[in-house]
Amino acid sequence: MAKARLLVELDVKADSIEEFVAMFREEFMTRSRSEQGCEQYELWRDSTSATKMTIVEVWSSQADLDTHLAQDWFSIWGPKLEAMQATPLVVRALSSIED
């Protein structure tokens, strides 16, 4: 079964970086990593720009990712994340050449 992978690129408002990272760690990473099928869920910061970040997600299956994206807590924390973004998210769904 093919894994589901996402790269989510975002640009955080400069005055929200610390709040964003804390919220992301406490809410998104903690919750997501405990979900079934979550193999990797990390936040990466661009080496040249503190406001540019990438979320790296690997899920055991598309069904696991779909379940993750349907979680109730997104309705609470999603708008908070969005308010800290300087630009809209860029979501890239990836597949491995090895799948």
pLDDT at 95: 87
pLDDT at 66: 96
Q: Tell me how far the alpha carbon of residue 42 is from its chain's centroid.
A: 7
Residues with pLDDT less than 50, the chain: none
pLDDT at 96: 84
At residue 3, φ and ψ (nearest 5 deg) are: -80, 160
Write out the CATH class of domain 4-94.
Answer: alpha beta
Output the 3-class SS for the chain: CCCEEEEEEEEECHHHHHHHHHHHHHHHHHHHHCCCCEEEEEEEECCCCCCEEEEEEEECCHHHHHHHHCCCCHHHHHHHHHHCECCCCEEEEECCCCC
pLDDT at 77: 84
Residue the block writes with tokens 């990593």: 33
pLDDT at 39: 98
Characterise 35 by phi-psi region: left (phi > 0), alpha (psi -120 to 50), beta (else). Answer: beta
At residue 76, φ and ψ (nearest 5 deg) are: -90, -50
pLDDT at 78: 84
pLDDT at 14: 96
